[in-house]
Amino acid sequence: MDDEQLIANARGGDARSLARTLSAIEDRTVAGRRAFADLFRASGTAWTIGVTGAPGSGKSTLVSALLPELVEHGDVAVVAVDPSSPFTGGAILGDRIRMTDSSRDDRVYIRSLANRGALGGISDTTPSIVAALDGLGFPEIVVETVGVGQSEIEVATTTDTTIVVVSPGWGDAIQTSKAGFLEIGDIFVVNKADRDGFEAAVRDLETMMALGPEMPWMPPVVATVATTGSGVDDLMAAIASHRAHLEATDARRVRRRRAAARQLAAAIRLEADEASDPGSLDDLVTAIAERSVDPWTAAVSLLAAK
Ligand SMILES: Nc1nc2c(ncn2[C@@H]2O[C@H](COP(=O)(O)OP(=O)(O)OP(=O)(O)O)[C@@H](O)[C@H]2O)c(=O)[nH]1
Ligand SMILES: [Mg+2]
């Protein structure tokens, strides 16, 4: 099968072709680069929703609860980065999620990305895979990442709506990450609202937001019980409001330009890494560390050698 046929099949919804196309892109093979070039040009119409937060806060359960709502608008792709726990109670079947209404099973595509650490990390791979899925025609794409490290923050800058999920007691556990959380959230979800302490968690978030600067979009705080679906309607409404806000203002364009700048910088880094043999890269690192060459000159010589 040639590359074009493969992409055509992936577009047609063939899960195996879809998986092969995405793997080729992840591996940056010759075929993968060609596919990415095509798909990227066709991308830009999907609404991308990032879901992040502390491990175990209920992100996957919440995504599962959102899916029946999201598929109302068309096929949905879910990208799970470094999944540390399976989607709801083993409901994930290979790349499928079992929906309550099984006729919709084939309307959700799930892709897991491992933080392989080889070339680039999740902050390089994820936006490319999301763009490819966008180009393949998924109108909505959900990206689940864990935590608020530098990579998650970078991923969050490439999604249109970022949902930060916390659960009661989160404040004590991850005090130090609060700043990072607040920075990236467009919507805050206090999940596990069936547990003690959820009012305090909501209050805590609202207080912190009130202390922060006045912003054109003030992130709402939504309480959910992902396991029962309670509050999911409110979350859907919050996503719709945020989308309307971005579309009505210049914010979406600004956000996408910022994402484009990051993607370009990441691509230059990857190209430079791949173009140079590891030995010469290592020699340059040694030379910089020993102060026999400065990093700017080293970068120029690296790119010139390509
Ligand atoms: N009581 C209660 N439990 C919940 C709720 N939402 C999720 N859980 C449970 O919390 C546990 C973790 O849920 P996950 O959805 O796997 O959490 P996660 O944030 O995706 O976890 P990681 O991907 O490992 O970071 C599971 O046992 C869920 O059943 C909720 O609203 N209430
Ligand atoms: Mg999860």
Q: Would residue 271 count as lying in a domain?
A: no
Tell me, yes or no, whether 151 and 281 share the same domain. no
Q: Would residue 268 count as lying in a domain?
A: no
Tell me, yes or no, whether 155 and 297 share the same domain. no
Tell me, yes or no, whether 55 and 141 share the same domain. yes
Q: Would residue 267 count as lying in a domain?
A: no
- 13-50 per-position pLDDT tens digit: 788 899 899 999 988 889 999 999 999 999 999 999 99
Which atom of ligand 1 is closest in space to residue 191's alpha carbon?
31
Query: What CATH number is attached to the domain comprising 229?
Result: 3.40.50.300
Q: Which of 227, 228, 234 to mutate to test the pocket of ligand 1 (most atoms within 8 A of CB)?
A: 227
How many whole angstroms from 166 Cα to the centroid of ligand 1?
10
Tell me, yes or no, whether 84 and 157 share the same domain. yes
Tell me, yes or no, whether 37 and 50 share the same domain. no
Domain containing residue 300: 276-304
How many whole angstroms from 46 Cα to the centroid of ligand 2?
22
Please provide the average confidence, as pLDDT, over all residues in the chain.
83
Tell me, yes or no, whether 224 and 300 share the same domain. no
pTM, entire model? 0.87
* Cα(43)–Cα(177) distance, integer angstroms: 33
Q: Would residue 270 count as lying in a domain?
A: no
How many whole angstroms from 61 Cα to the centroid of ligand 1?
6
Last residue of a domain, one of 9, 25, 42: 42
Mean pLDDT per 10-residue segment, the chain (306 residues)? 83 87 90 93 94 87 91 89 52 43 65 61 83 95 82 82 88 56 88 92 86 88 95 97 94 88 86 76 89 92 76
Tell me, yes or no, whether 94 and 172 share the same domain. yes
Tell me, yes or no, whether 143 and 170 share the same domain. yes
Ligand 1, residues at Cβ distance < 6 Å: 55-61, 83-85, 146, 191-192, 194-195, 225-227
Number of domains, the chain: 3
- 108-127 per-position pLDDT tens digit: 888 888 765 434 567 778 89
Tell me, yes or no, whether 169 and 26 share the same domain. no
